[in-house]
């Protein structure tokens, strides 16, 4: 074995386990961790040699990448490049073997759900940060740690898979690092060591520091921690049944598909095991849809009746529009959304359910551009929000959302509320909805709206879900928090116009 290969097997980062210096893919390497460090191999004297730079590889000469390598690429797109998880999945899964696509998606979701805690664990195992230009190796370490933590297989297999993935990605220099760090992690698990002991409360709760602090300000530290854990769980696949739920449940049982009734919605069923929607009886005919339990409550809150003129503002992708029409086919529904592509999803949903709505591509905050002047009896204002209540379904929110986004969202919500209020008939009802668990988007938003509009009042809700929000004896709405194996986080307010 040459001196060069010996040095390549050394682990310049994987030393003491008591170091906890920050090591995020976006961060800069600390002083002393550059390629000129004495820990680097010196045998290659070429001026352009850099062990942190990927080896040039012709992808046409390689087999398809392993699930671990593809998951690292997926995370790189989201964490470093700021691509949405949906968009990144579309790109990465096209490169995967069909048998591996489900695994790549599952690993990507789980790493993002537990990202903050995994970063803490990784950094506690490193002697110094990995350079930013080797971000994919830092992310591959997270993949390996998640496989060791959560996979039902021998830890050595997870270690070997991550090491092989480094070679596939053109980073052979990192094989020693991955092997040393992941084997140390595996020993911790075998010895019963808590890898997250000493983590900050935010990291332990699997939340970015800014979001954890915002939740603490709203709900206190204990609840903020519980919310973080709930948002890191795997959400159920929930169905909304058009007909008799019990009859449909029996139909699923006859097909050996396990499902349990939802706790509050009389239309909902939680599947014990998620499955392809095409296997669901009646899905293609619109007799069943995938919709979170909390989203199903909107139909009841609207109190729909035949002949009503109804507006579904910010309607894409159309799940609630379809639910309205299936609940009350004799209502006249107009669906508005600002995004042309997403409006196509609304049309697809309506066609599947064989119902009709008037579709308008327009800005809910600027109705003067599309409104025909006919007032509405009912309006659903399902406004753009931080989506903090559905992070477990969209864990990239934690990486893509920034604290400076919140004031912009709150202002946008207020503008939409004010604009839509002018379209509502006297005696009409508007339901304000978000999938947020931040008070400033919810109860605080409604309190401000009521101060601006003397002809509005928030109606109490005769429901047994959520927590009542009020100030100075004035009812504002109900806050719903995410529940493991249950519904997502939502807020609802029912506003009546005098």
d(C-alpha 324, C-alpha 118), whole Å? 42
> Which segments of 358-482 are extended strands (E)?
358-361, 376-382, 424-434, 456-459, 467-471, 474-480
Sign of CA dihedral 210, 213, 218, 219: positive
- What size, in residues, is the chain? 498
How is residue 469 annotated by DSSP?
E
Q: For residue 207, give Cα distances in angstroms to 143, 172, 217, 398, 401.
A: 18, 32, 14, 7, 12
CA dihedral angle for residue 186, residue 32, residue 74, residue 195, rounded to 10 degrees: 30
Ramachandran category for residue 69: left, alpha or beta (phi over 0 → left; psi -120 to 50 → alpha) = alpha
The catalytic residue among 8, 140, 165, 435 is 435
The DSSP bridge partners found for residue 432 are 381, 493
- In 310-404, where does DSSP find H-type helix? 319-327, 340-353, 397-400
Query: 61: burial class by Cβ within 10 Å (0-12, 13-18, 19+)?
Result: exposed
How many other C-beta atoms can be found within 10 angstroms of the C-beta atom of residue 255? Answer: 10
Largest CA-CA distance found in the chain, in angstroms, rounded? 86
Active site residue 314: no
- Which residues are known catalytic residues? 435
């Amino acid at each position: 074995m040459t001196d060069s290969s010996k040095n390549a097997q050394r682990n310049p980062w994987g030393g003491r386990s008591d170091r906890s210096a920050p090591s995020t893919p976006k961060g800069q390497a600390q002083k002393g961790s550059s390629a000129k460090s004495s820990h680097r191999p010196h045998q290659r004297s070429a001026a352009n040699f850099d062990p942190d730079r990927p080896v040039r590889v012709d992808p046409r000469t390689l087999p398809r990448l392993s699930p671990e390598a593809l998951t690292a690429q997926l995370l790189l797109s989201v964490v470093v490049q700021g691509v949405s998880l949906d968009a990144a999945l579309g790109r990465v899964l096209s490169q995967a073997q069909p048998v591996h696509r489900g695994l790549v998606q599952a690993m990507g979701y789980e790493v993002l759900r537990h990202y903050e805690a995994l970063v803490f664990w990784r950094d506690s195992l490193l002697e110094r940060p990995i350079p930013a230009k080797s971000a994919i190796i830092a992310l591959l370490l997270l993949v390996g740690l998640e496989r060791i933590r959560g996979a039902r297989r021998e830890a050595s297999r997870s270690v070997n898979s991550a090491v092989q993935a480094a070679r596939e990605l053109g980073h052979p220099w990192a094989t020693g690092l991955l092997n040393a760090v992941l084997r140390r992690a595996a020993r911790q698990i075998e010895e019963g060591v808590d890898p997250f002991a000493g983590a900050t409360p935010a990291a332990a709760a699997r939340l970015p520091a800014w979001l954890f602090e915002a939740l603490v300000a709203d709900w206190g530290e204990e609840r903020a921690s519980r919310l973080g854990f709930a948002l890191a769980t795997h959400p159920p696949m929930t169905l909304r049944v058009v007909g008799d739920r019990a009859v449909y449940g029996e139909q699923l049982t006859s097909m050996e598909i396990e499902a349990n009734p939802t706790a509050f919605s009389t239309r909902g069923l939680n599947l014990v095991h998620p499955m392809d929607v095409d296997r669901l009886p009646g899905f293609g005919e619109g007799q069943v849809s995938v919709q979170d339990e909390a989203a199903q409550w909107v139909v009841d809150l609207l109190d729909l009746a035949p002949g009503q003129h109804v507006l579904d503002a910010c309607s894409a992708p159309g799940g609630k529009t379809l639910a309205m029409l299936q609940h009350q086919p004799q209502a006249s529904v107009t669906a508005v959304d600002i995004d042309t592509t997403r409006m196509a999803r609304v049309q697809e949903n309506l066609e599947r359910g064989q119902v009709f709505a008037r579709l308008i591509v327009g800005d809910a905050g600027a109705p003067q551009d599309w409104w025909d002047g006919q007032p509405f009896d009912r309006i659903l204002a399902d406004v753009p929000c931080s989506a903090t209540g559905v992070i477990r379904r969209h864990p990239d929110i934690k990486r893509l959302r920034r604290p400076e986004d919140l004031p912009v969202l709150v202002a946008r919500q207020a503008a939409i509320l004010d604009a839509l209020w002018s379209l509502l008939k006297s005696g009409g009802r508007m339901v304000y909805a978000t999938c947020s668990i931040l008070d400033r988007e919810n109860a605080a938003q409604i309190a401000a709206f009521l101060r601006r509009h003397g002809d509005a009042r928030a109606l109490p809700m005769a429901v047994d879900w959520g927590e009542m929000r009020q100030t100075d004896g004035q009812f504002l709405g109900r806050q719903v928090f995410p529940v493991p194996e249950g519904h997502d986080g939502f807020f609802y307010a029912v506003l009546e116009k005098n």
